[in-house]
Amino acid sequence: MTKHEGIIRYIYKLEVGTKISVRSVATSLKVSDGTAYRAIKDAESMGFVSTVPRIGTVRIEKVEKKNIETLTYAEVVNIVDGSALGGK
């Protein structure tokens, strides 16, 4: 396991809502600030870390996207906020 993978695993195991900083991760895991920064940015692109302006970087719960298999006319109308002119 590389340092980068270790940092991502460490971040993933943190409790949701935990604030994360480059310096604290680098100090805790004895890695450089640059390595910690890159891993935090990768964790953000993976969806389990979010950077909020004036708050900082926070561990979040990854939201899984659901695939839409079937839609009814009513659901389509709700999505487009329109009205169906035909169909049953």
Kind and range of the H or E run holding 73: helix 73-80
Q: Which residue ranges make up each domain of the chain?
A: 3-59
Q: What are the structure tokens assigned to 63, written together?
A: 């939201």
Residue pair 73/79 in contact by the 8 Å Cβ criterion: no
Q: From CA 41, how far away is CA 72, in angstroms rounded?
A: 39
| Topology (CATH) of 3-59 | Arc Repressor Mutant, subunit A (1.10.10)
What's the pLDDT at 1?
Answer: 86
Q: From CA 80, how far away is CA 23, in angstroms rounded?
A: 45
Q: What is the dihedral of CA 36, 37, 41, 46, to 10 degrees?
A: 0
pLDDT by residue, tens only, the chain of 88 residues? 899 999 999 999 999 999 999 999 999 999 999 999 999 999 999 998 999 898 899 999 877 666 667 767 677 667 776 655 665 5
What's the pLDDT at 13?
Answer: 94
